[in-house]
């Protein structure tokens, strides 16, 4: 069903990703997607399940390997950057924007995506123009002529991936790491193609969990906790960052006095123990939290 031909990914003899071009980055920040120090890799050769890329001089190499099951697929990236460095470039991959690949998709009509709008929140976004794709997109659902396509980024052992818009109406998959490293051998993207758009995300996630041997279950297979059948309360709604023991006890007394049947509570101080909440380090904190 899925296979590579030269540097494009096909599904049922139709192009899914066109003109895949990988890159590595030793200097730039995530918001500088087209900075001149990004090192692009040249296509070398391919078979149905692998594409091989290499930079001029052979200092950077990357292989994309394709796995599939039923209508789902997953891409794994292996390779990286020669830690001796290139003339005029840094000696290590940039941890916030380490490596990735740019590609073109064909879509009709609107697409639906989910993106990280801030450190703590993910929001939906709908548009008909890929150039408007939000930075840090985590999932993308679009129609490719007759069928629907669902793409979901991943967090494997050392790298987390996200989607960004880039020049030429193309998409860039960007991998960041929570540590200094120059090599990757991880899954970077899962997807599924089919007619029923409501099933695609479940099918892709189910295959991703299986292939990556990660713990987890689809929502439909999880037991709904009994406690959530009852009224609950979150401290953020009342106190936001300013949570203290005294305020919590006063609020509990208020519930009791007003006969409000609260059965459970969430104490939310929005990561008050994190002293540096900013865009430049948030991806590393997310990765550390997921380990």
Residue 200: which CATH number?
2.70.98
Does one domain contain both 154 and 15? Answer: yes
Domain stop point among 167, 198, 217:
217
14 lies in the same domain as 69: yes
- Ranked by mean pLDDT, the top range of 40-49, 168-177, 219-228 is 40-49
Specify the number of domains making up the chain: 2
| Same-domain check for residues 237 and 194 | no
Q: Is the pLDDT of residue 28 over 70?
A: no
Q: Inform me whether the pLDDT recorded for 219 exceeds 90.
A: no
Res. 285 pLDDT band, cuts 50 70 90 = low
Q: Are residues 92 and 231 in the same domain?
A: no
- The share of the chain scoring above pLDDT 70, in percent, equals 86
For residue 277, pLDDT beyond 90:
no
pLDDT tens-digit series, residues 49-76: 999 999 988 888 999 999 999 999 999 9
DSSP strand E in the chain: where?
2-5, 8-11, 14-25, 38-40, 42-46, 50-54, 60-69, 72-81, 99-104, 108-116, 122-127, 137-144, 147-153, 159-166, 170-177, 183-194, 232-234, 264-266
Using the predicted structure, report yes or no on whether residue 291 has a pLDDT greater than 50: no
Q: Across residues 229-242, what is the average pLDDT?
A: 91
| Residues 40 and 14 occupy one common structural domain | yes
One domain for residues 53 and 187: yes
Shared-domain flag, residues 169 and 103: yes
Same-domain status, 254 and 174: no
Same domain? 135 vs 251: no
Q: What is the pTM of this model?
A: 0.82
Report pLDDT for 44. 96
Q: Is 74:65 a contact under the CB 8 Å cutoff? A: no
pLDDT of 95 over the 90 cut: no
Range of the domain at 15: 2-217
Q: Are residues 260 and 172 in the same domain?
A: no
């Amino acid at each position: 069903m899925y296979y590579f031909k030269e540097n494009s990914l096909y599904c049922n003899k139709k192009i899914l990703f066109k003109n895949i071009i990988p890159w590595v980055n030793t200097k730039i920040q995530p918001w500088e997607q087209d900075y001149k120090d990004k090192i692009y890799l040249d296509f070398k050769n391919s078979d149905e399940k692998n594409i091989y890329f290499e930079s001029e001089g052979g200092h950077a190499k990357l292989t994309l390997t394709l796995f599939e099951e039923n209508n789902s697929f997953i891409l794994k990236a292996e390779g990286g950057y020669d830690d001796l460095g290139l003339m005029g470039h840094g000696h290590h991959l940039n941890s916030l924007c380490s490596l990735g690949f740019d590609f073109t998709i064909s879509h009709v009509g609107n697409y639906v995506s989910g993106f990280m709008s801030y450190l703590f929140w993910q929001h939906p976004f709908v548009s008909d123009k890929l150039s408007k794709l939000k930075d840090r997109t985590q999932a993308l659902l679009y129609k490719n002529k007759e069928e629907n396509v669902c793409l979901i980024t991943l967090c494997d052992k050392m790298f987390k991936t996200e989607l960004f818009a880039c020049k030429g109406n193309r998409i860039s998959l960007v991998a960041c790491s929570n540590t200094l490293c120059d090599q990757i051998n991880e899954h970077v993207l899962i997807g599924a193609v089919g007619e029923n758009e409501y099933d695609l995300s479940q099918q892709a996630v189910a295959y991703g969990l299986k292939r990556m041997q990660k713990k987890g279950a689809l929502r439909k297979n999880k037991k709904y906790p009994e406690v959530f059948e009852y009224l609950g309360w979150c401290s953020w709604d009342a106190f936001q960052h300013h949570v203290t023991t005294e305020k919590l006890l006063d609020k509990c007394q208020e519930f009791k006095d007003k006969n409000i049947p609260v059965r459970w509570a969430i104490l939310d101080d929005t990561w008050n123990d994190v002293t540096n909440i900013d865009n430049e380090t948030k991806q590393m904190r997310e990765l550390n939290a997921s380990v």
